[in-house]
């Protein structure tokens, strides 16, 4: 072995392993490697042996401890939402909400509350890819001065089921099939659609799940929702119903399915990397927190039950009032310690916020403590720094695995009179400032016999599914129908497909027909419904494409600038400067990572190698090539595919005149999104050109 810095021989001098040899143990500092007992380690390269080739000695406690700890590095992953990425940040209140809530974080305009937000996919394991078609978790832990409040939501405002007792069935059905162990992170398989087709209440959520919402471009471009109806309670004890919304300042943007599939191969960590790069480069993602606040009379006026988690309140009926903003400005120091060990729980609420009787929420309140215990292995998981409240925690709970606190005195019970003796008596309850459950029954639903039934008011499973589908823009409707065709085409049992089509007829006969045609199957009769299907007023606010959050901006987006030897230096500079000025990030892509020699003789290093950086990784492309450079790239499949995919994924393509042959070979046809490298390209860069779509793929 040439490098002996990590290799100690038995042949004397050459075996010194460390350049820095501390003189004495008196100066034990952070630079010295130690065991977990604080013993300084002399050699971290070689285990203790009897003789140079001899057996390893059992007494090698340094080796034993190191391997022991390593062997136990993995902990059980989350049963759902295993794959996630998180960041620190703060919530800043716009104006006092003291009229509707006494929650401390909502009292003083301008006040900032630290928080930790974790985004996740639901179905895949911790090592699965970032871009499957899946719901995204959107969980926020607010470290308020009156304790932790966890708003554990999703990027979709409704859910698959109405009753917690169905959750294990739902999750079993979507996860890998029990006998074969596949597919990973995919709902496109028999058991999921079998369950869904038998559960009409999931139809509304299925519309959302098959829409472009579940293939987001970035975690920075998703909305978040608290899903359930919660309560805010003010100092007078008056309750207001509330739905929570997170609106991304970056806009709402999704990928195209073909793109999402290709990203999965090109960069399985696409979303995590994107969030990491944005935060570490100072482009802090931001969301506005908004509320839909309403009273019982408003709730009674709706044609559905606000306790039913398969329903949402259209913004056209009740606008979302922005109340503050969340900025994510710090990436965690350590993924495991923070992102993996963070333990959210919908039951973590603060005085001024309260639950409703939503039966799904009630089930969740019960469930999350269990999961954290089995995942983190101790009832003291709240003491892990990422979970610990940033206000004092004082009670008589004691002991348990991994107890980190050392309470003084003998008062571990209450009431006690020990303080009368000058001893520590411990904390006491406070009827004035302590959390008090809002006493009122939700429209008397707390009274009555013990029953295992669903209320009649939960019986309509199709009206909002119809409302959702019909509110979308035409391209989004086509994507949704095509997603259903894709997923159901992976279902092997034909009867499941037919049953699903019967449910879709109730949603919208045209949608059902399009899906049936896409499957090349006959359209069955509508399945029976438990309540009449209503034609509700449409909600254009639900659209991603041409909706209120369709920003068409280059801000926070990436432009891939494809160069090769001979590319015009002035053109490259002009386009990268203009992209930066528009708030975007130019990524230089060249055949080799070392870069390409530009027309002025300078070597411009690349940010990505062409073969490893397909255009799915960026939002728009600029192809800046000389005649010779273009001639060379015409023979590179990766270059042709780069341009072909950008066109197929409806992205803007700016190009130098000499790059035209590459565009021709990639089948690029002229349209508004195909421009020169000037201002037109910058204007087009943040857009997708939906008119192009019918020419590049057949949609249902």
Residues at the interface with ligand HDE (CB under 6 A): 78-81, 84, 118, 120, 137, 139, 152-154, 159, 164, 167, 227, 343-344, 360, 363-364, 367-368, 371-372
Minimum distance of ligand HDE from residue 287's CB (angstroms): 15
Six-digit token string for 699: 């949609």
Minimum distance of ligand HDE from residue 534's CB (angstroms): 24
Distance separating alpha carbons of residues 142 and 117, to the nearest angstrom: 9
Minimum distance of ligand HDE from residue 374's CB (angstroms): 9
- Closer Cβ to ligand HDE, 107 or 367, answer by number: 367
Q: Which residue is nearest to ligand HDE (CB)?
A: 137
* Whether residue 69 lies in the annotated active site: no
Active-site residue, selected from the candidate residues 4, 27, 44, 81:
81
Cα separations (Å) of 161 from 154, 201, 228? 14, 6, 12
**320 Cβ contact partners less than 8 Å away, ≥ 6 residues apart:** 245, 247, 290, 291, 292
- Closer Cβ to ligand HDE, 66 or 454, answer by number: 454
* Helix H or strand E segment including 292: strand 286-294
Minimum distance of ligand HDE from residue 160's CB (angstroms): 8
**223 Cβ contact partners less than 8 Å away, ≥ 6 residues apart:** 155, 245, 246, 247, 248, 252, 549
Minimum distance of ligand HDE from residue 162's CB (angstroms): 10
Minimum distance of ligand HDE from residue 222's CB (angstroms): 12
Contact call for residues 40 and 27 (beta carbons, < 8 A): no
* Helix H or strand E segment including 468: helix 463-471
Minimum distance of ligand HDE from residue 309's CB (angstroms): 6
- Closer Cβ to ligand HDE, 131 or 498, answer by number: 131
Other CB atoms within 10 A of residue 367 CB: 17
Minimum distance of ligand HDE from residue 290's CB (angstroms): 16
Contact call for residues 90 and 113 (beta carbons, < 8 A): yes
Distance separating alpha carbons of residues 313 and 158, to the nearest angstrom: 10
Q: What is the 3-state secondary structure (H, E, C) of 400-412?
A: CCCCCCCCCCCCC
- Closer Cβ to ligand HDE, 80 or 478, answer by number: 80
Residues in the chain, total: 700
Distance separating alpha carbons of residues 390 and 255, to the nearest angstrom: 38
**697 Cβ contact partners less than 8 Å away, ≥ 6 residues apart:** 258, 648
Active-site residue, selected from the candidate residues 88, 148, 154, 461:
154
Sign of the torsion angle spanned by Cα atoms 597, 603, 608, 611:
positive
The secondary structure of residue 171, as a DSSP letter, is: H
**465 Cβ contact partners less than 8 Å away, ≥ 6 residues apart:** 203, 204, 206, 207, 506, 507
Q: What are φ and ψ of residue 6, in 5° steps?
A: -115, 20
- Closer Cβ to ligand HDE, 167 or 689, answer by number: 167
Contact call for residues 307 and 445 (beta carbons, < 8 A): yes
Six-digit token string for 302: 């709706």
* Whether residue 479 lies in the annotated active site: no
- Closer Cβ to ligand HDE, 4 or 334, answer by number: 334
- Closer Cβ to ligand HDE, 136 or 479, answer by number: 136
Contact call for residues 89 and 115 (beta carbons, < 8 A): yes
- Closer Cβ to ligand HDE, 46 or 367, answer by number: 367
**Catalytically annotated residues:** 81, 154
């Amino acid at each position: 072995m040439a490098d002996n810095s990590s290799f100690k021989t038995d042949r004397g001098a050459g075996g010194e392993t460390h350049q820095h040899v501390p003189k004495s143990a008196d100066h034990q500092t952070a630079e010295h490697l130690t065991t977990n007992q604080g013993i300084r380690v002399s050699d971290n390269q070689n285990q203790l042996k009897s003789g140079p080739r001899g057996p390893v000695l059992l007494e090698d406690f340094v080796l034993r401890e190191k391997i022991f700890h390593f062997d136990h590095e993995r902990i059980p992953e989350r049963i759902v939402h295993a794959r996630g990425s998180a960041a620190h940040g703060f919530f800043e209140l716009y104006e006092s909400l003291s009229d509707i809530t006494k929650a401390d974080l909502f009292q003083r305009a301008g006040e900032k509350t630290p928080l930790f937000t974790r985004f996740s996919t639901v179905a895949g394991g911790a090592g699965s890819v970032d871009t499957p078609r899946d719901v995204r978790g959107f969980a926020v832990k607010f470290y308020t001065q009156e304790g932790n409040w966890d708003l554990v939501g999703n990027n979709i405002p409704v859910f698959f089921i109405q009753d917690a007792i169905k959750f294990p069935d739902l999750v079993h059905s979507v996860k890998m099939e029990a006998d074969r162990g596949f597919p990973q992170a995919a709902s496109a398989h028999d058991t999921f659609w079998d369950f869904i087709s038998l559960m009409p209440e999931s139809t509304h959520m299925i519309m959302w799940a098959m829409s472009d919402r579940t293939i987001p471009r970035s975690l920075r471009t998703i909305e978040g929702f608290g899903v359930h109806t919660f309560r805010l309670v003010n100092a007078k004890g008056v309750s207001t119903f509330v739905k929570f919304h997170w609106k991304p300042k970056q806009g709402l943007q999704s990928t195209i399915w073909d793109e999402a599939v290709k990203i999965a191969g090109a960069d399985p960590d696409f979303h995590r990397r994107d969030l990491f790069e944005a935060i570490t480069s100072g482009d802090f993602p931001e969301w506005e927190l908004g509320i839909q606040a309403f009273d019982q009379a408003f709730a009674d006026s709706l044609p559905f039950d606000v306790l039913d988690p398969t329903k949402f309140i259209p913004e056209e009926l009740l606008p979302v009032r922005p109340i503050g903003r969340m900025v994510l400005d710090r990436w965690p120091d350590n993924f495991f310690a923070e992102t993996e060990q963070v333990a959210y729980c919908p039951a973590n609420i603060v005085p001024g916020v309260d639950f409703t009787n939503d039966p799904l929420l009630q089930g969740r309140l019960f469930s999350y403590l269990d999961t954290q215990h089995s995942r983190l292995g101790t009832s003291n998981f709240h003491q892990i720094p990422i979970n610990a409240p940033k206000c004092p925690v004082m009670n008589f709970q004691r002991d348990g695995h991994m107890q980190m606190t050392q309470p003084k005195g003998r008062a571990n019970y209450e009431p006690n009179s020990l303080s009368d003796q000058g001893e520590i008596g411990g904390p006491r309850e406070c009827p004035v400032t302590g959390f008090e459950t809002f006493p009122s029954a939700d429209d008397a639903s707390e009274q009555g016999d013990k029953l295992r039934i669903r209320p009649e008011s939960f019986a309509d499973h199709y009206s909002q599914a119809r409302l959702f589908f019909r509110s979308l823009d035409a391209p989004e409707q086509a994507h949704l129908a095509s997603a259903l065709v894709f997923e159901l085409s992976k279902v092997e049992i034909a009867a499941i497909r037919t049953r699903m089509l019967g449910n879709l007829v109730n949603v919208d006969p045209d949608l059902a027909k399009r899906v049936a045609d896409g499957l090349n199957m006959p359209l069955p009769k509508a399945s029976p419904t438990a309540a009449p299907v209503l034609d509700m007023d449409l909600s254009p606010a639900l659209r991603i494409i041409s909706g209120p959050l369709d920003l068409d901006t280059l801000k926070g987006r990436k432009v891939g600038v494809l160069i090769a030897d001979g590319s015009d230096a002035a053109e490259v500079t002009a386009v990268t400067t203009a992209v930066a000025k528009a708030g975007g990030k130019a990524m230089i892509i060249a055949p080799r990572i070392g870069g390409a020699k530009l027309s002025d003789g300078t070597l411009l290093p690349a940010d990505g190698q062409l073969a490893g950086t397909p255009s799915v990784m960026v939002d728009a492309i600029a192809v800046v090539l000389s005649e010779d450079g273009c001639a060379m790239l015409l023979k590179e499949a990766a270059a042709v595919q780069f341009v072909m995919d950008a066109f197929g994924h409806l992205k803007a393509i700016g190009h130098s005149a000499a790059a035209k042959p590459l565009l021709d070979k990639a089948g690029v046809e002229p349209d508004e999104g195909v421009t020169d490298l000037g201002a037109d390209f910058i204007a087009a860069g943040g857009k997708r050109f939906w008119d192009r779509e019918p020419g590049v793929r057949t949609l249902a």
